[in-house]
Amino acid sequence: MPDTTVKSPTILVIDDDAEVRYSLSRVLSSKKYQVLEAASGEQGVATVKKGPAPDLIFLDIRMSGMSGLEALQHIRSTNPKQLVVLMTAFGTAQTAIEAMKYGAFDYIMKPFDPAKVLAIAENALKAYADMRAVSNYKPTINSDDYKEGIVGSSPVMQDVFKIIGQVTASDVTVMITGESGTGKELVARSIWKHSHRAAKPFIAVNCAAIPDNLIESELFGHEKGSFTGATGQRLGKFELCDGGTIFLDEIGDMALATQTKILRVLQQGEIQRVGGTDTIRVDVRIIAATNKDLEEMVKAKTFREDLYYRLNVVRIKMPALRERVDDVPQILDFCIQNLVKQKKARVNKVSPEALAVLTRYRWPGNVRELENVIYRSAVIAQGDTILLKDLPLEIRDAVGVAAPLVFTGTSSTGNTNVPFETARTSSTESATLATEQIVAESIASGEPTLTVESALDFLHVQLSEGEEPILERLEREMIIRVLTATEGNLLKASEKLGMTRATLRKRVDELGLKT
C-alpha cells in the first residue's frame, strides 16, 4: 500500500555557532518540524545539492569561510524556488538590501525570540506550500491571440471587437470614450492596423500634454519666423501622417481655437501651417478619444457642437475593468507573458489567493493599474509565483484581506514579537465566561457595552508600577478582539470601533501591531 503518512516540513539550519543551531533546533522541533543542521556555508550548500531539498533554510550571514550571502547565491542557483531566511546580529540597511536582493524570503535579527522564529517559519512554509500548489503557468489562450494587445472575452469586450471590425473597412471618424487606463489607444491602433491605411503612419497626439500655445504648431506645423523660437520650417503631425491615421487623445482638453482648425481638416481636408498662407491638402483619418463628458461640455460651450458631431460618427465606449472582472485572469496572462518575454521578472504564476484578491478589487486605474500592480508584485516576489503577500497593501486592504498581524512591541502578556493569534489567545484564556459573553456581544453589536469592572476583569489589570496604561491596554485588546471578529478586515473593524480605516491603521502601528 502507498505511504499516506503526512511528512513534517524539513528545515535546514546553517550556522557556524553550535549554540545557535541547538537553540533553533529546539524551537523548531517544538512544532514537530524536522530539523537538519550544517556547521558552515560549504556544508549547507552541499546538503542542498545532495538533496532532497529542505522546505526552508535558516542561514547565518556572517560565518567563517563561505559567507551567508555567498551560500545563498549557490543555493538559489541550484534551486531558484528555495526559500531562505537569513539570520544576522547586524540589522543595517545594507544587510536588509543585500538579503532581499539575492532572493531571501526574510531575515531575522539575533538574539531570537522563539515566537518570532516560529511565525517566520510558518509564513515561509505557507508561501512554499502555495508555490507548490500552483500548477505551472499555462496561458488561458495562445500568444497569437494577444497580438492586438486588447485582452478580454467578456460580452462587453466582444461588442468592442465587433465595432472595431465594422469600422476598419471605411474611413469613418471614430470617437473612443472611457475612463483613463481602459485601453483607448490600443483600440485606435487596432482600427488602424486592420484598415487599408495600415501601410501608412499612425501618429498619437496627447492633446492634454501639449500647452495651448504650442499645440497648433505640433499639429499643423509652422513657418520660419512665425513666432519666437521658430528658427526654421517645421512639418506638423497632419502632414507627417498624410495617408495614415492620427489619434487625438484627450481631445476634450483641446482649446476652442484649435478645435476650429480640426473642424476644417474634417470638413475640407486642408491645413495651414502657423505663420503660413498656403493651403495644404492632407488625407488623414482622425480617431479621437476622451475620458470627459463631451455632451456636457457642449452644453457648457467649452467644446464645439459642430466638431462634436463630426467626431462622434461612430462611438466605441471602453468599459471600466470593474465592469468586466471576468477578464482579469486573461489580462494577468498577458502581463505575465510580456514579463517572461522581456525577462523583466522570473514570475510565471499567480497563487489562487492572490488571484481572488485581484478579481475582487475595484481597479479605479483600470487595466493600466492592473499592469502596474502585476509588474510591481512580480519584482517583489521571492519565487516564481505571485503570492498574496506580494500584492500591494492598499490592494489587500481595499478588499478586506490582510497578512497576519504580528506584535513588534510589547504585548499585553509581557512578551515581544508575539504572533497576533498567540497574543490574542494568551491574553484571554483566563477571562471569565461572563466577560467573554459581554465582549462578544459588544463586538457583534458594535456598541460599547463593556462596563469598567468587566473591562478590568477582562484585561486582568494589575495596578503595579511599570504596567502599561490601563486605557492603552484596553484599546489594544479591543482592537485585537474586533480585528479577530472581522477576520482582519480593517474597513469592517474601523466601522465597529467608530473610527476611520486610516485612524485604525495608525493606531495598529502605534500600539505595536503590524500587518
In degrees and rounded to multiples of 5, residue 176 shows phi and psi of -110, 125
Which grid coordinates belong to 351?
497563487
The tens-digit pLDDT sequence of the chain (515 residues) is 455 555 788 999 999 999 999 999 999 998 889 999 999 999 999 999 888 889 999 999 889 889 888 999 899 888 877 889 988 877 666 666 677 777 788 888 888 888 888 988 988 888 777 776 654 445 455 555 556 678 888 889 888 999 999 999 899 999 999 999 999 999 999 999 999 999 999 999 999 999 988 999 999 999 988 888 888 888 999 999 999 999 999 999 999 999 999 999 999 999 999 988 889 999 999 999 999 999 999 999 999 999 999 999 999 999 999 999 989 988 988 888 888 888 777 788 888 888 889 999 999 999 999 999 999 998 888 778 898 888 998 898 888 765 444 433 333 333 333 333 333 333 333 333 334 444 444 444 444 444 444 444 444 444 444 455 666 767 777 787 787 777 777 778 888 888 887 788 888 877 776 54
Question: CA-CA distance, 91 to 69, in Å (whole number)?
Answer: 15
Q: What share of the chain is helix, strand, coil (3-state, %, to 5)?
A: 50, 15, 40
Chain-centre distance of CA 377, in angstroms? 6
CATH of 10-133, picked from 3.20.20.450, 3.40.50.2300, 3.90.76.10, 3.40.50.10860, is 3.40.50.2300
Give the pLDDT score at 92: 64
Q: Where in the chain is the domain with CATH 3.40.50.300?
A: 170-318
Q: Which helix (H) or strand (E) holds 39?
A: none
Cell numbers that stand for 122 in this block = 510558518
CA 463 to centroid of chain Cα atoms: 46
Which fold is adopted by the domain 325-398? Answer: Helicase, Ruva Protein; domain 3 (1.10.8)
CA distance 133 to 149: 30
Residue 37 CA to residue 21 CA, distance in Å, equals: 7
Q: CATH 1.10.8.60 residue ranges in the chain?
A: 325-398
CATH 3.40.50.2300 domain residues, the chain? 10-133
Half-sphere exposure (Cβ direction) of 410: Cα atoms closer than 13 Å: 9
Phi and psi, residue 174, nearest 5°: -125, 135
Q: Are 44 and 75 in contact (CB under 8 A)?
A: yes
Q: Which residues pair with 260 in a beta bridge?
A: none
- Please tell me the distance from the alpha carbon of residue 279 to that of residue 267, in angstroms, as a whole number: 14
β-sheet bridge partners, residue 206: 249
Asked whether 117 and 406 are in contact (CB, 8 A), the reply is: no
User: Which class would CATH give 170-318?
Assistant: alpha beta
**What is the model's pLDDT at position 470?**
61
